[in-house]
Amino acid sequence: MIPVEGFEGQRVGVLGLGRSGLATARALAAGGAIPVVWDDSAEGRAKAEAEGFAPEDLRRDNVLTTLACVITSPGIPHLYPAPHPVLARAMQLGVPVDNDIGLFFRSLGQSSWGDYDVAPRVVAVTGSNGKSTTTALITHILQEAGRDAVMAGNIGRGVLDIDPPEDGGIVVLELSSYQTDLARALTPDVAVFTNLSPDHMDRHNGMGGYFAAKRRLFAEGGPDRAVIGVDEPEGVYLAGQLSHGPQDDRVIRISSGQKLDQFGWSVFARKGFLSEYRKGRQLASVDLRGVPGLPGAHNHQNAAAAWAACRALGLGPRDIELALHSFAGLPHRSQIVREINGVRYVNDSKATNVDSAVQALRAFPKIRWIAGGLGKDGGVQGALNDLGNVVKAYLIGHSAREFALQLGGLEQEICETMEQAVARAHAEAEPGEVVLLAPAAASFDQYTSFEKRGEHFTDLVRALPEA
């Protein structure tokens, strides 16, 4: 646990008592603060009481006005589409609002750091797609190279739940837009921006607000090195804003598809090969086509981002290349579950929006595509130009019929449930084809999370007969 500093003897509100909220309350108490906890649900309050915290109703002014700060969980809106009443009132009363990421950065530097030979460092990864894989890959590479590295944030453990890093330790954080939007302190040593595509539009009041939330990690944080994906206009803009010119190697531009050899420092992947350039000179080239845990161009972009971040931390090309080949990938992200009679079954349940689903559709040939769920704005319109590899679509969930209309003449079948979709795809698949779960939709119509959806698909596939 990282004890929260700066609130000794003060009352600090904690709104939302899920994983991050309870970890925040513990860390505040460990640092000498007095956590004042509240959750709108009786279940959440009961969990806090079981840990010895006494909930107080933060909806009351006579409670709010006694607080030095209110710490909110990332899932609770603070501005759009409408702020939670507690947060709205706190801001009206002038009570600061923060989150666990802000507390992490303000509390990370311990007095013992003065005795370390190498100060601990923080890598923070944000973006729309690929940030979980990139975060896990960076951590894997560092650990394979013998570095003391831990993964936290939006993946792995809560940021305040980890042990303080020791001499030379590295904390690798995945940060969502919900987390970067509100944190009052953001000071990573290396910050990574993977890409940008529409998501969480209601929470950020549109694309501009969404990008602004991501940009805060760089504008507020002032990282020593910024790794920026430049395959979208926003990334090109961000790289230009952060650099003093094309040869400024504090910014490492990355791409999947573009050749970037004219900058001070760049890493890019084209046609399955990763290249690193500095000052116009190629320093490394790696064949990614045989890396089983990173299939497809979207994963090659993740590899480029992880490569750049690890090079910024001082690792050599050979160490990074070796670690790429031993990376197993993450569950629910282009995860190869099984092969039966020449048919591969791939779980990409994390493809909760159309852009991430498109990346999966581009990664595999001859696809029997399981899609659907709780569709987002636009449905699957954004995939219509990337259906060349799709043999047939099997549509499930709330948006099955909407998706069917949008997919038009593509061979398709409305299956409603995952059980029926897996059974039908298995019955019709031929050797050399891929049965791909890439829903292009949220899971909440039928499942509590994309993980539960992916686990259900995996269980069904593992139960299929060989013949």
Residues in binding site for ATP: 127-133
Task: For residue 30, give every residue at least 6 positions away whose Cβ sits within 8 Å of its Cβ, in sequence order, or none.
Answer: 1, 3, 4
CA 317, CA 285: separation in Å to the nearest integer?
9
CA-closest candidate to residue 379, choices 350, 412, 405: 405
Residue with tokens 């219509």: 384
Please calculate the CA angle 81-47-157 and round it to the nearest 5 degrees: 70
Q: Half-sphere exposure of 139 toward its Cβ, with a 13 Å CA cutoff?
A: 23
Nearest to 95 by CA among 72, 127, 118: 72
The helix (H) or strand (E) run that includes residue 312 is helix 297-312
Classify residue 163 by its DSSP letter.
P
Q: Is 33 helix (H, G, I), strand (E, B) or coil?
A: coil
**398 vs 384: CA distance, rounded Å:** 20
CA nearest neighbour of 199 among 132, 129, 254: 129
Give backbone dihedrals phi and psi of 282, rounded to 5 degrees, phi first: -75, 130
Q: Is 324 helix (H, G, I), strand (E, B) or coil?
A: helix
Pairing mode of beta strands 190-193, 225-229: parallel
383 neighbors 439 (Cβ within 8 angstroms): no
Residues in a beta bridge with 227: 192, 252
Count of CB atoms within 10 A of residue 111's CB? Answer: 7
Q: Look up residue 259 and give its two tokens.
A: 């050749």
Q: H helices within 159-206, ranges in order?
A: 177-182, 201-204
Amino acid code (one letter) for 97: V
72: helix, strand or coil: strand
Which tokens hold the place of 81? 């589409």
Dist CA 224 CA 247 (whole Å):
15
Mark residue 376 as left, alpha or beta (left: phi above 0; alpha: psi -120 to 50; beta: remaining): beta
Q: Name the helix (H) or strand (E) containing 282.
A: strand 281-287
Q: Which amino acid is at 135?
A: T
**CA–CA dist 293, 288 (Å, integer):** 10
